[in-house]
Amino acid sequence: MQAHDLRFRAMTGIAPTAAGSQVLDDRTATKVTFAALVGNALEWYDFFLFTTATALVFNVQYFASDDPVTAAMASFATLAVGFIARPLGGLIFGRMGDRVGRRRTLLITVVLIGVTTGLIGVLPNQFTIGVAAPILLTLLRIVQGLALGGEWSGAIIIAVEHAPPAKRGRFAALPQIGSPIGTLLSSGAFALVSLLSRESFDAWGWRLPFLAAIPLLLIAVFIRRQLEESPAFRELVEHNEVAHAPLTRVFRESWRQVLVGAGVAFLGMGGFYLVTTFVISYGTRVLHLDRTLLLSGTLVAAVGEIFVIVVAGRLTERFGATRVVAGGGLATAILAFPVFWLIESRAPVLVILAMTIGVGALSFSYGACGTVLAGLFPPALRYSGVAIASNAAAVLSGCVPLIATALFAASGNQIWTAAVIFIVIALTTGVSGLFFPRLSIGEAGIRN
């Protein structure tokens, strides 16, 4: 066996293939993208369970307080902690993805978050074990954040690196569908257990969606084990071009790309949590809307998001990522005030319509951001670069519901504060997308 074959087996744990046998064809790309999508959907299911529970459960079970605003903000702070942990996870798994391969890293991340979510399902609450409950919940949330810090970027990268050049936009967009699928599964699970009596829901019902993560994890691991390593990483190993210090090189050589990538990813994350997590909390706490209505709005919005992401991928191929990202940001900014005015009407149909419009508008930029981020970094630094950029956006995004809740309370419950936040996020992404053509490594950099 040749030296590079032995090196590849040692680094990736799988047998090498003959040089040149890794062709970029639709069949292989579809198989790999499906595996990335399934694992990504599980990751987002687990992560969104926590997000939904933050608004509906944890403020009562783990952060009990006589002041509902204080309880809500403490609960949202725990949500933010997970996002703050994501950059560290991006550093850890980004380096791993560039050093030992995309495939092995993605297996580790999916196992970590699945096991952690199952443990949340059996964690005693504050009334049972006192202050240890919120502490343990926060620690589990940190592990979730670490795992997701390397998951999203890896799923996007492995799909892009297997995709034929002419169809890269659609294959880069498809793993993004894992986000709305995760939303559908998590919100659907909570919608089902919400049908229980309040006593049963508080006692044990809310735990069932978390426990369901374990069998879903087994399915995801089985599918992910079928993945082959990406052609780009195989080429790096075979030519002895694997970066020895990818993190250092990213910060030294590609810091501009990191800033642009973070800005491009901001709307798809921060805007989404504003329209879902914050709206659920605001709707139940201030508008006194039924939680089932708000969860239904999230479900309908997620279905619409799937179609928008698919369209965004095709538009990226036809018009370019810059136009799609910038156009999505502008459209979202224009629709920000109408979205929150409709929610404030309290009319069930209008509330659901508003959430669907808000999520749909921001999903154009979200569907194109995978193409942008992959195109900003060379193969040897791609996992680290994408992970750092996306998780920088995630830190800000995780704080959005907390910031919105604080500003909303400080303004005397004026909804315009949330609309202004939505506009700022949208314009940040739109403007960032305009810098992509000047910083992109070009088609050849993605191919290799």
Structural contact between residues 291 and 299, judged by C-beta atoms closer than 8 angstroms: no
Does residue 358 sit within a domain? yes
Instruction: Give per-residue pLDDT as tens, 146-196.
Output: 888 888 888 889 888 888 877 888 888 888 898 888 878 887 888 788 788
Does residue 19 sit within a domain? no
Helix then strand then coil, in percent of the chain rounded to 5, is 85, 0, 15
Q: What pLDDT does residue 424 have?
A: 96
With tokens 């240890």, the residue in question is 132
Spatial distance between the Cα atoms of 275 and 415, rounded to a whole number of angstroms: 12
**CATH code at position 411:** 1.20.1250.20
Instruction: Give per-residue pLDDT as tens, 109-138.
Output: 989 988 998 999 888 887 778 778 888 888
Place 4 in a pLDDT band, splitting at 50, 70 and 90. Answer: very low
Does residue 16 sit within a domain? no
- What is the extent of the structural domain holding 180? 25-440
- Please give the angle made by the CA atoms of 336, 77 and 426, to the nearest 5 degrees: 20
Count how many domains the chain has: 1
Residue-by-residue DSSP string for 379-396: GGGHHHHHHHHHHHHHHH
Does residue 10 sit within a domain? no
With tokens 């604080």, the residue in question is 406
Structural contact between residues 123 and 53, judged by C-beta atoms closer than 8 angstroms: no
Does residue 9 sit within a domain? no
Does residue 4 sit within a domain? no
Place 5 in a pLDDT band, splitting at 50, 70 and 90. Answer: very low
Does residue 12 sit within a domain? no
Q: What is the DSSP letter of 239?
A: T
Q: What pLDDT does residue 338 have?
A: 96
Instruction: Give per-residue pLDDT as tens, 189-243.
Output: 887 887 888 888 878 888 899 998 888 888 888 888 877 788 888 888 888 888 8
Instruction: Give per-residue pLDDT as tens, 402-436.
Output: 888 888 888 888 889 999 999 999 999 999 999 88
Spatial distance between the Cα atoms of 324 and 331, rounded to a whole number of angstroms: 10
Q: Which pTM value belongs to this model?
A: 0.81
Does residue 428 sit within a domain? yes
